[in-house]
A and B are shown apart, each in its own frame.
Chain A
Amino acid sequence: SYDLIQPPSVSVSPGQTATITCSGNKLGDKFACWYQQKPGQSPVLVMYQDTKRPSGIPERFSGSNSGNTATLTISGTQAMDEADYYCQTWDRTTAVFGGGTKLTVL
């Protein structure tokens, strides 16, 4: 099976840049997506096909994917960005999610 590894937690000060990584074998050869989940809510797609933002997602969210690592970057992080973030890709026809990263905005 294919595994995606994320750091359990990342902390950032308001206004600074948050970087959340997702590692998997040759992940750069696949497309990666990112989901934001706030407590008690359903996940929300914030990035797809590595670098594309869905409509309504602020420009401060950006993504990249190369080698074995996909990265979600949040520039000028705001308090409202505090949430769990999950990366996701495909292993043949099975969706695989990373374990999630809790982003804390201190």
Chain B
Amino acid sequence: QVQLQESGPGLVKPSQTLSLTCTVSGGSISSSTDYWTWIRQPAGKGLEYLGRIYSSGSTNYNPSLKSRVTISVDTSKNQFSLRLSSVTAADTAVYYCARMSDRFDYWGQGALVTVSS
């Protein structure tokens, strides 16, 4: 059973960079044919797709955030990471990592990140 767990700072100052890591257990990122993704959800609102990465390092990002999002992978640690630059209060949300084939079938529990000075 694949499990994903987000980790990282829960508070980020405006204009700084948000960084989160997703640790995958129960399966290997490098041997998987799936993509590894980040999705966020502001409080009381819907889901927003941020982007995805393949084990090779190939990435695709949501065009609405493309200039600020970077997703990377560390197969030796079975982890992948999110960096979101120049954050504002509007980036305050629960951030989920998820495994994706043509659907999001395994999700992490989510990490709340608050952008505030």
Chain A residues with CB under 8 Å of chain B are: 1, 31, 33, 35, 42-45, 48-49, 54, 86, 88, 90, 93-100
Contacts and interface: CB of A to CB of B under 8 A. Distances in A.
Contacts of B48: 97
B47 A43 contact: yes
Interface in B48-63: 48-49, 52, 60, 62-63
A45 B64 contact: no
Contacts, number: 53
B26 interface: no
A35 B104 contact: yes
Nearest to A31: B102
Interface SS of chain A: strand
A103 to B, nearest CB: 15
A22 to B, nearest CB: 12
Contacts of A42: 96, 107-110
A43 B104 contact: yes
Interface of B: 37, 39, 46-49, 52, 60, 62-64, 96, 100, 102-105, 107-110
A97 B102 contact: no
Contact of A86 (B47, B60, B64, B100): B47
Given A33-B103, A96-B49, A1 B110 contact: no
Contact of B46 (A1, A45, A97): A97
A94 B63 CA distance: 8
B2 to A, nearest CB: 13
B103 A48 contact: yes
Contact of B64 (A1, A33, A93): A1
Contacts of B63: 1, 94
A98 B100 CA distance: 18
